[in-house]
Amino acid sequence: MTDQLDIARPARSTLPLTRIVTIGVLVALAVVPPLAKLSGYDFYLDLATRLVILAIAAVSLNLILGYGGMVSFGHAAYIGIGAYAVGIPAYHASYGEFDAIASYNGFFQIAIAVTASAVFALITGALCLRTRGVYFIMITMAFAQMVFFLFVSMETYGGDDGLVIDTRSELPLISLDDALTLYFVCWAALTVSVYLVHRITNSRFGLALQGAKGNEARMKALGFNTYAYRLTAYVIAGAMCGFAGALLGNFTTFISPEMIDWTRSGELIFMVLLGGTGTLIGPVVGAVVFIGLEEILSDITIYWHLPFGILLILTVLFFRGGIMGMVAMLVESRRD
Amino acid sequence: MITKSMTTLLALAASAGVALAKDVKIGFVTTLTTPAGVIGKDMQDAVNLAVEHIGGKMGDLDVKILFEDDGFKPETGKQVTDKLVKQDDVDFVTGYIWSHVLLASRKSVIDAGKFLISSNAGPSPIAGKLCHENFFSTSWQNDQTPMAMGEVLNQQGVKSIYVMAPNYAAGKNMVAGVERTFKGDIKGKDFTKWGKDAQLDFSAELAKAKASGAEGIFVFYPGKAGGAFIKQYQQAGLQSVMPLYSVFTVDSISLPKFQAASMEGVLGSRMTQFWAPDLDTPQNKKFVSAFKAKYGKYPSFYAAQSYDTIFLIKSAVEAVNGDLSDMDGMRAAMKSANFPSVRGKFTYGNNHMPIQNFYLREVVKDGDGNWTTKIVSTVYENHQDSYAGECPLK
Amino acid sequence: MDLTLVVIQCLNGMQLGILLFLLASGLTLTFGIMDFVNLAHGSLYMVGAFLCATLTFWTGSFIWGVLLALPLTALAGIAVEFIVVRHLYSRDHLDHVLATFGLILCIDTMTHLIWGAEGIAVPLPAFLNGQVELFAGIIFPSFRLLIIGAGLIVAGGLYYLVNHTRLGMLIRAGASNRTMVSALGVDIQTLFTLVFALGAVLAGLAGMLIAPITEASIGMGNEIIITAFVVIIVGGIGSMKGAFIAAMLIGLIDTLGRSYIDDLFKLAMSTEAAETAAPAVSAMLIYILMAVVLTFRPQGLFPPKVR
């Protein structure tokens, strides 16, 4: 993981323009989809909700991939864990058994989602971070596959067929059954996630993390325990993605092991790369473009994988640094 | 596809106020990609043929069909279903090959207050505790066909069988069905991995089956897994020691492929089903001959069910004279099953599952040397599924 | 436990192992020498199967089908290398993963467009379609036996190629130190293309051998490629020996898992729960193996000596 990831250096993200883009994207996401809903295009609000949730997952992946240089090919596992953390308590609240965890309470479900994801990230991360490069890519995928098959094997919760939940998480004052409320909750979560990553990357911890990515030996020589820094970031990212999973479960009201499939992890990586690794808003932009393209292309033809695949290849070949990288480049060239 | 995106564009262009009720919109969710796409294609062909046969009209209304691809995944199936009910504002959502896709999508359609008509999948919850007044089926409940097979096994004096099926909702229903009626011994059971990366090499399972010493083997492998299974069954030399009894495994989609590969062992194998291409009803004769003329192949049961779906909807729309807001009227019309079905006259149970005959079919060569199936005998007359009692509807 | 059944299941496991080896050997070659992660390797496996299926019907013989399809698969491999892969050697693994993921989508869809969605059943000549009795009571499908035989011959050939030819010397040198090989004045680009084509042929051969058992179908490569990756990671990237041993190990674990896990589970839980859990857990086994191996040996079982 070398040159390519360094293209958009954190220094650039402090440029006023990138800050304007960041705020602009978030504001646009706050305004446009609700307007679509109010004009009668309910489906586009749905699309935007899914998009915003996946953007949170991409933002969390970017923390370890973009800033930490850890290419996790199993990040979708946390989405699954988070979603089942909503589904399983709701299932028991509806159909009995396991009274200890049976609950529709949103705070309880989200607490489980975040805790379970963090614990899973801690255990697997401790093992995965012993490896490097492609071994890391593959071992993270292996753990995600294990989670995938674990949920497939759980007959009670639908196994391969997935689990339909009838009742969304219950929160005080608001109802997630209202599409607009649900959307604003997801949007607020995204904004908080972006801000959180912004604070983390600009803290001493974040700088050490980025330093370890660039030159691990030097950081070690300076007395930093790079392993501990990486592991902490890995756990934070996992917990954040688990939270996204809890939102996704609430949004789709259908939870299946398919959410954890390795292709899903691949899609998350693509979102991050498309938007620009190691940039604050890049993953969000990547998610918007990714979901948008998927929607438009699949509407035109059932053979949409072909143009989509070609775009993917072209992005990798020619758009190094992703969309935000191009934005940064434009700024640079203007200055020159 | 072009028509579909044009419809979408039109729907986008038209503001909410413009009257759109000049046509009846039917969303058809099926699998068009992945190897299972061949099933979806067969259904699509049948739907297009049906629309042609009714002249593109139901009463005074034009028929608009919107095909959507579920990609063989419950999650995608649910997404396209959401899109159909929310964006395209269809009046009926139908199709659904796979039980798990149907179960995942059910809530979206029901919550939107539209009619949901399954053209294939028949998982037990939907016939039982999850039954709904706006749900109808033009196929069967999953357990019924294997129940008929269990009955056939009893009649033929088979004492023991080995059972294999994919590990998903329908697979489990099929096994439950045969277990419910088969009186002999079940020597062993294997559920194999299903989904878009389903297990297709059954070497270990076939070796176990052979070692179990069962008298026969019962399988349910729809789509490409069926072809793979039958080949390996023959390569393992099982057809002489363990006759094959299957449901939904050998069909008009796989038979031409078997014939091309000269797998003579398939000839004479038997299965149960509610329908066959040679079933002697006027509607079926018309359907099968037109399908063969137009597409140059026999229709599959998936196609037959899809063809029926369009006629069922037509009967509903015409009963209310095109007033698509009259849900009660359309429901009552569909409930009476008063339309020409390829299976002949049948009735609906309280759970809106057909009460119908089940036949034993055998693979034979037709007059032109093509491989097809013909009916041997009737196993069940007017058979109702076992979950109707769990359904609170009257 | 029935001993005959155990022997047959071991043979089945070997047959799966051989297929995995054919795929993994190409992967480990491209990985070891070019440091290139090729997710689309499975697509070449699929292309091989479809070419072989078409040619089998065209020539009327499976043997001819395979013989003609092999060079065509090599050409397909060269085309892929020329159009996409070549431009990615200098990039990092992340770019490889994404670009070849895009390639999978493209090749799968093109296959759908060319051959249709239904897949092709490949007929076998009669002498391969039966069974043979190896020992008393051990009856095994002859074609599966042929796969084992063909795979062992290929493995032997690869061993000779890698250890006793000039090309093999370059391959070994390339796996250990790429810069040194190019410094020696070897045309590294041609070597890379050649190795990529060799990998394509090996993957294609695996596809051709499995097609008469399952069939040539879209996406067939995506099912097995992840397992092949597990094989090379467990075996150690760049190690042919490691790939062979890991392939056999994983083939056996997977097959024996599918055969015996449900019986094992039935001792501890209800029959119904065991029947549902067993297929998932047996599918999980190979990932558990990989995680365990990487925990104790982060470079796999047989890492090449110098990197």
- Provide the token pair at A152: 């497939």
Q: Measuring CA to CA, how many Å separate C200 from each of B213, C74, C187?
A: 42, 6, 20
Domain limits, chain B: 2-140+280-356, 144-273
- Provide the token pair at A17: 């323009």
CA gap C174, C36 in Å, rounded:
12
Q: Does C258 touch chain B (CB under 8 A)?
A: yes
When CB atoms are compared, the residue of C8, C9, C131 closest to B237 is C131
Q: Helix and strand tally (H, E) in chain C?
A: 11, 2
Using a CB-CB cut-off of 8 Å, the residues of chain C touching B34 are 117, 218-219
pLDDT tens for A173-225 read 899 999 999 999 999 999 999 999 999 999 999 999 999 888 888 888 888 89
Using a CB-CB cut-off of 8 Å, the residues of chain C touching B211 are 2, 4-5, 8
CA gap B155, B157 in Å, rounded:
5
CA gap B71, A148 in Å, rounded:
19
Are A134 and C92 within 8 A, CB to CB? no
Q: Write down the pLDDT at residue B18.
A: 39
Q: Does A254 touch chain B (CB under 8 A)?
A: yes
**Backbone φ, ψ for residue C8 (5° rounding):** -65, -40
Partner A, chain C 110-169, Cβ-Cβ below 8 Å? 110, 112-113
Q: Give the residue among A122, A135, A141 at the shortest CA–CA distance from C297.
A: A135
pLDDT-derived band at C305 (thresholds 50, 70, 90) equals: low
Question: Is the pLDDT assigned to residue A288 strictly greater than 90?
Answer: yes
Q: Write down the pLDDT at residue C118.
A: 81
- DSSP annotation of B386: T
When CB atoms are compared, the residue of A41, A258, A300 closest to B1 is A300
Q: Does C99 touch chain A (CB under 8 A)?
A: yes
Using a CB-CB cut-off of 8 Å, the residues of chain C touching B190 are 262, 279
Picking from B200, B203, B239 by the largest number of C CB atoms within 10 A of its own CB, the best residue to mutate is B203
Q: Write down the pLDDT at residue C83.
A: 94
How many Cβ atoms from other residues are within 10 Å of residue B89's Cβ? Answer: 17
pLDDT tens for B249-281 read 998 988 998 898 888 888 888 899 999 999 999
Closest residue in B to C253 (Cα) is B204
**Chain B residues near any Cβ of chain A (below 8 Å):** 1, 4-5, 8, 15-16, 32-33, 37, 69, 73-75, 78, 82-83, 86-87, 99-100, 103-104, 106-107, 167-169, 193-195
Closest residue in B to C56 (Cα) is B261
Q: Give the residue among B271, B208, B259, B202 at the shortest CA–CA distance from B235.
A: B202
Question: Is the pLDDT assigned to residue A302 strictly greater than 90?
Answer: no
With a pLDDT cut of 90, the percent of chain A lying above it is 62
Task: Show the domains of chain A with their CATH numbers.
Answer: 3-335 (1.10.3470)
Helix (H) or strand (E) segment spanning residue A103? none
Length of chain A equals 336
Using a CB-CB cut-off of 8 Å, the residues of chain A touching B73 are 258
With a pLDDT cut of 70, the percent of chain C lying above it is 98
Closest residue in C to B226 (Cα) is C214
Q: Does B213 touch chain C (CB under 8 A)?
A: no
The answer to whether domain B2-140+280-356 has CATH 3.40.50.2300 is yes
A46 min Cα distance to partner chain C (Å) = 26
B115-118 and B135-137 as β-strands: parallel, antiparallel, unpaired?
Answer: parallel
A320, C106 contact by CB (below 8 A): no
Picking from A4, A270, A312, A314 by the largest number of C CB atoms within 10 A of its own CB, the best residue to mutate is A312
pLDDT tens for C127-137 read 888 888 888 77
Per-residue pLDDT tens digits of chain B, which is 394 residues long: 444 444 444 444 443 333 445 899 999 999 998 888 899 999 999 999 999 999 999 999 999 999 999 998 888 999 999 999 999 999 999 999 999 899 999 999 999 999 999 999 999 989 998 999 999 999 999 999 999 999 999 999 999 999 999 988 899 899 999 999 999 999 999 988 887 678 899 999 999 999 999 999 999 999 888 889 998 998 888 988 899 999 999 989 889 988 988 888 888 888 999 999 999 999 999 999 999 999 999 999 999 999 999 999 999 999 999 999 999 999 999 999 999 999 999 999 999 999 999 999 999 999 899 999 999 999 999 999 999 999 999 8
Question: Is the pLDDT assigned to residue C288 strictly greater than 50?
Answer: yes
- Provide the token pair at B144: 């019924």
B61-69 and B23-30 as β-strands: parallel, antiparallel, unpaired?
Answer: parallel
Total number of domains constituting chain C = 1
Residues 6+ apart with CB under 8 A from A76: A57, A144, A259, A260, A261, A262, A264, A265, A267, A268
B23-30 and B92-95 as β-strands: parallel, antiparallel, unpaired?
Answer: parallel
DSSP state letters, B169-186: HHHHHHHHHHHHH--SEE
When CB atoms are compared, the residue of B69, B87, B100 closest to A160 is B100
When CB atoms are compared, the residue of C108, C283, C300 closest to A305 is C108
Domain membership of residue C14 as a residue range: 9-218
In a domain, C116, yes or no: yes
CA gap B198, B223 in Å, rounded:
11
A73, A128 contact by CB (below 8 A): no
CA gap A183, A168 in Å, rounded:
14
A90, A110 contact by CB (below 8 A): no
Are B107 and A164 within 8 A, CB to CB? yes
CATH class of B144-273: alpha beta
CA gap C307, C305 in Å, rounded:
7
In a domain, C39, yes or no: yes
CA gap A243, A110 in Å, rounded:
7
Q: How many CA atoms lie within 13 A of B64 on its CB side?
A: 22
Question: Is the pLDDT assigned to residue C277 strictly greater than 90?
Answer: no
Residue tagged 């969605």 (tokens): C117
How many Cβ atoms from other residues are within 10 Å of residue B354's Cβ? Answer: 27
Q: Give the residue among A232, A251, A249, A227 at the shortest CA–CA distance from A177.
A: A251
Decide whether B2-140+280-356 matches B144-273 in CATH topology.
Answer: yes
pLDDT tens for A116-169 read 999 999 999 999 999 988 889 989 999 999 999 999 888 888 888 889 888 899
Are B82 and A253 within 8 A, CB to CB? no
CA gap A221, A232 in Å, rounded:
20
Alpha helices in B94-223 (DSSP H): 99-111, 124-127, 144-155, 169-181, 203-212
- Provide the token pair at B10: 């039109």
Amino acid letter, residue B24: V
Helix (H, G, I), strand (E, B) or coil at B307: helix
A149, C284 contact by CB (below 8 A): yes
Using a CB-CB cut-off of 8 Å, the residues of chain A touching B167 are 152, 159-160
Q: Write down the pLDDT at residue C306.
A: 52
CA gap C307, C303 in Å, rounded:
9
When CB atoms are compared, the residue of A127, A135, A262 closest to C233 is A135
- Provide the token pair at B171: 């697979």
Are B73 and A258 within 8 A, CB to CB? yes
CA gap A144, A152 in Å, rounded:
12
Question: Is the pLDDT assigned to residue A2 strictly greater than 50?
Answer: no
pLDDT tens for C48-107 read 999 999 999 999 999 999 999 999 999 999 999 999 999 998 888 888 988 999 999 999
- Provide the token pair at A33: 């989809």
CA gap A1, A7 in Å, rounded:
12
Are A44 and B87 within 8 A, CB to CB? yes
Q: Write down the pLDDT at residue B63.
A: 96
pLDDT-derived band at C1 (thresholds 50, 70, 90) equals: low
Q: Measuring CA to CA, how many Å separate B124 from each of A90, A297, B100, B174, C270?
A: 22, 36, 11, 10, 22
Q: Does C108 touch chain A (CB under 8 A)?
A: yes
Using a CB-CB cut-off of 8 Å, the residues of chain A touching C40 are none
Are A298 and B8 within 8 A, CB to CB? no
Picking from A51, A54, A94, A254 by the largest number of B CB atoms within 10 A of its own CB, the best residue to mutate is A254
Please report the number of interchain residue pairs, chain A to chain B, with beta-carbon separation below 8 angstroms. Answer: 69
Picking from A64, A138, A319 by the largest number of C CB atoms within 10 A of its own CB, the best residue to mutate is A138
Alpha helices in C35-141 (DSSP H): 41-59, 62-83, 93-115
Are A143 and C237 within 8 A, CB to CB? no
When CB atoms are compared, the residue of B38, B196, B257 closest to C219 is B196
Amino acid letter, residue B100: H
Using a CB-CB cut-off of 8 Å, the residues of chain B touching A252 are 75, 78
Q: Does B235 touch chain C (CB under 8 A)?
A: yes
Please report the number of interchain residue pairs, chain A to chain C, with beta-carbon separation below 8 angstroms. Answer: 142
Q: Write down the pLDDT at residue A6.
A: 43
Amino acid letter, residue B179: E
Are A130 and C294 within 8 A, CB to CB? yes
B232, C41 contact by CB (below 8 A): no
Q: Does C9 touch chain B (CB under 8 A)?
A: yes
CA dihedral over C60, C62, C66, C69, signed as positive or negative: positive
Alpha helices in B296-390 (DSSP H): 301-319, 327-335
Q: Write down the pLDDT at residue A318.
A: 86
Closest residue in A to C273 (Cα) is A155
CA gap C173, C168 in Å, rounded:
8
The gap between the terminal CA atoms of chain B, to the nearest Å, is: 41
pLDDT-derived band at A91 (thresholds 50, 70, 90) equals: very high
Q: Give the residue among C276, C275, C296, C294 at the shortest CA–CA distance from C286.
A: C294
